[in-house]
Structure 1
Amino acid sequence: MEQQLSARGSAARRRILAAAAEEMVATGDVEVAAVARRAGVSVGLPYRYFGTRSGLLSAIISAFYDRLDEAVTNREFDADTWYDRERARVTAWVDHLYDDPLAPVVLGRLGGDADTAGIEMHRLHKAIERGARNIARGQRDGDLPADRDPELLVAAILGGVHTAVAVALTRTPRPDRARVAAELWAFIAGAAGAGNTSERTS
């Protein structure tokens, strides 16, 4: 949609989206009138660019996962073994979520409307697909035991780490991010059968 807009329209759309993200961080919700006030535009303009409140919320969530995909999910980490590649991915994942102010709100949401739930389910399936490929590669390389179903394993791991990091992000004060990453990695490596993590070194 944004590609079809004029430069001025694209700038207005980005300003509204940024204001909506700020409103969601501040209040945990998105009300179109409040977003319009924050963006300094008329109440009707968000509807022009996003159609509905649900459309605006969907755009916020899509942008959140786009950033996460670029920084972590779709990133290639340069290391020789599954263990080192995925340990680096977990550290990058925790760092990214700790630094994104929307993360506590998006990860802590309990349900939503059909549009946003559909977006989140699609992103989850893409993450499972990518993670299953990574597990299968580790199995082919001999880094992981071959007797585990990659897709089921990744689905279970993602459910656990998603919930754990959502809890960490909402605690006051937040636990140290390096400790969170280390504890999550110990869980993931153990679930994947990567061996005794205490015997691994950088």
Structure 2
Amino acid sequence: MTTPKAPRGATTRERLLRAAAEELVETGELEVAAVSRRAGASAGLPYRYFGTRSGLLIAVLDDFYQRLGDAAALRAYDAPTWAERERRRIRDWVMALYADPLAPLVLGGLVGDAEVATANTRHLHLLIELGARNIARAQRAGELQADRDSEFLAAATLGGTNAMLSVALTRPHRPPAEEIIAELWAVVRGAVGLPSAPAQ
């Protein structure tokens, strides 16, 4: 059985997105002409697919957050307790960002105009909303304190996670992923009020 081919337009769009991500990682900049050269495309082709340089940057951001969602944020974990599920999510979150060359740029504040900043904020708010619903379910189940604001907790844990990973990813010598996972879990556990784990 053969796998159906992606439509030509979708393939071209993916090629341009890949070239844009590579250009950002290598140079820290996004010049549309450089993306076209890297993709082996005509100078006007990115504008046909993305409209503007900002549109291309936003598409790169969207693609980045989709990968993060697939790897961790949108995953349903099969474990009996909230703590076990979220520890697994943190592991997958860290491993995904450690493996993604764009992560240091996105977490460090991708350079762009107000339109790009608005798109990034929209993604962050969606992640906070997902986190708040997740925490609220655990509160209703009696696994977390019910008197805490779930949205504030989600915002605090996401902000702390992104800040810690931004520091880790931009250090000259990255800390081992397992060390970051342990540090992040300690922060999240403390933020939501879970008791400390017993010493091993």
Shorter-chain TM range is over 0.9
CA distance in 2, matches of 1:65, 1:144: 27
1:64 is aligned to 2:81: no
CA distance in 1, matches of 2:133, 2:42: 47
Q: Could you report, residue by residue, the CA deviation over 1:82-133 in whole angstroms, capped at 9, with x for unpaired residues?
A: 1101111001100000011111111111663122112111111111111111
CA distance in 2, matches of 1:65, 1:194: 28
Amino acid at match of 1:95: M
Please list, as runs of the form range in 1=range in 2, the aligned pairs for 1:18-167 lying within 5 A after superposition: 18-109=18-109, 112-167=112-167
CA distance in 2, matches of 1:41, 1:29: 19
Structure 1: give runs of 5+ residues left out of the alignment.
Answer: 1-5
Distance 1:110 1:51, change over 3 A: closer
CA distance in 1, matches of 2:109, 2:19: 19
CA distance in 1, matches of 2:195, 2:150: 17
Amino acid at match of 1:172: P
Please report how far the alpha carbon of residue 10 of structure 1 lies from its aligned counterpart in structure 2 after TM superposition. 2.4
Identity of aligned residues (%): 56
Q: CA RMSD in A?
A: 1.6
CA distance in 2, matches of 1:33, 1:110: 19
CA distance in 1, matches of 2:53, 2:189: 41
CA distance in 1, matches of 2:75, 2:83: 16
Relative to the length of structure 1, the TM-score reads 0.91
Q: Which moved more, 1:133-142 or 1:54-63?
A: 133-142
2:54, 2:112 within 8 Å by CA — same for their partners in 1?
A: no
Amino acid at match of 1:148: R
Amino acid at match of 1:37: R
Please report how far the alpha carbon of residue 156 of structure 1 lies from its aligned counterpart in structure 2 after TM superposition. 1.3
| 2:181 paired residue number | 181
SS in 2 for 1:41: coil
Amino acid at match of 1:83: A
SS in 2 for 1:63: helix
Please report how far the alpha carbon of residue 64 of structure 1 lies from its aligned counterpart in structure 2 after TM superposition. 0.3
| 1:169 paired residue number | 169
| 1:3 paired residue number | none
Count how many residue pairs are aligned between Structure 1 and Structure 2.
Answer: 195
Please report how far the alpha carbon of residue 144 of structure 1 lies from its aligned counterpart in structure 2 after TM superposition. 1.3
Moved over 6 A (4+): none
Amino acid at match of 1:170: T
Amino acid at match of 2:21: A
Structure 2: give runs of 5+ residues left out of the alignment.
Answer: 1-5
2:168, 2:175 within 8 Å by CA — same for their partners in 1?
A: yes
Relative to the length of structure 2, the TM-score reads 0.92
